[in-house]
């Protein structure tokens, strides 16, 4: 499932990938990734009740992927067994905190919910400056590697290098903006929960 939040609204899109191919994954799912933060979602204050039995890992998509992307997944590396429900609740909470932060900062974003709901890709982005200037849509599918063209001529003239360049310069946050966002998110979680930056 994917979502686009571009201008004060949120659109959810369901894509039955098994109809594309039995083992289909979006190209972004195969991209190189790195962990940069983890939290166990345990409150620092002993007066607070801990609601989550599972932590969350924060990563980013690396390499030459054209748009800066966060990814979150449950952290099941701790002691004890974690149920699927516990993992999903922790992940949903962390994603909700991030999305609220993006909304508060007026940052448009796209989502891809993958891995049977156990991995969420969050693509913070610029406002959509490309809609009129290119022959493809800048929806979650395109940002995740399945480019949707606006017309047949655009499809026939499509070049991967040009699309990547336009996504990188026109849609993606700059490295400095993305690094600032990562820092803000770590500070937000560390102000309330135990956690650690991973280098």
Average per-residue pLDDT in the chain?
A: 87
Q: What angle do CA 16, 22, 26 make, to 5 degrees?
A: 60
Domain residue spans in the chain?
Answer: 2-129+173-197
Pick the more confident residue, 2 or 193. Answer: 193
Mean pLDDT of 110-117: 88
86: enclosing H helix or E strand: helix 84-104
- For the beta sheet containing 55-61, the strands, ordered from the edge strand earlier in sequence to the opposite edge, are 11-13, 2-5, 109-114, 119-124, 70-75, 55-61, 33-43, 193-197
For the segment 39-66, the average pLDDT, to the nearest whole number, is: 91
3-class secondary-structure state, position 174: coil
For position 22, what pLDDT does the model report?
Answer: 76
3-state secondary structure 117-163: HCEEEEEEECCCCCCCCCCECCCHHHHCCCCCECCHHHHHCCCHHHH
Distance (Å, rounded) from C-alpha 134 to C-alpha 142? 12
Packing angle, helices 84-104 and 175-190, rounded to 10: 120
As given in the structure block, the two tokens for residue 24 are 């289909």
Using the predicted structure, report yes or no on whether residue 6 has a pLDDT greater than 60. no
pLDDT tier, 154 (very low <50, low <70, confident <90, very high otherwise):
confident
Is 66 within 8 Å of 167 (Cβ atoms)? yes
Residue 8 pLDDT? 53
> Mean pLDDT throughout 18-42?
89
Return the pLDDT at 3.
47
Across the range 97-117, mean pLDDT stands at: 91
| Across 106-124, average pLDDT | 91
pLDDT at 174 over 90: yes
What gap in Å lies between CA 164 and CA 67, rounded to an integer? 8
| Helix, strand, coil tally for the chain in percent (to 5) | 35, 25, 40
Residue 105 has pLDDT above 90, yes or no: yes
């Amino acid at each position: 499932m994917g979502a686009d939040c571009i201008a004060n609204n949120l659109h959810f899109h369901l894509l039955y990938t098994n109809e594309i191919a039995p083992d289909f994954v979006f190209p972004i799912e195969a991209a190189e990734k790195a962990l940069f933060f983890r939290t166990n979602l345990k409150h620092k204050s002993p007066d607070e009740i801990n609601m989550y039995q599972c932590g969350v890992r924060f990563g980013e998509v690396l390499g030459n992927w054209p748009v800066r992307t966060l990814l979150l997944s449950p952290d099941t590396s701790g002691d004890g067994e974690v149920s699927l429900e516990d993992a999903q609740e922790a992940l949903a909470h962390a994603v909700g905190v991030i999305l609220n932060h993006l909304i508060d900062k007026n940052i448009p974003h796209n989502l891809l919910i993958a891995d049977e709901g156990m991995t969420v890709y969050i693509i913070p982005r610029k406002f959509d400056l490309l809609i009129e200037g290119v022959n493809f849509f800048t929806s979650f599918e395109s940002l995740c590697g399945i480019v949707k063209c606006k017309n047949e001529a655009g499809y026939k003239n499509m070049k991967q290098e040009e699309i990547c360049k336009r996504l990188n310069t026109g849609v993606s946050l700059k490295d400095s903006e993305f690094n600032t966002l990562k820092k803000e998110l770590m500070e937000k979680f560390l102000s309330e929960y135990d956690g650690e930056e991973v280098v």
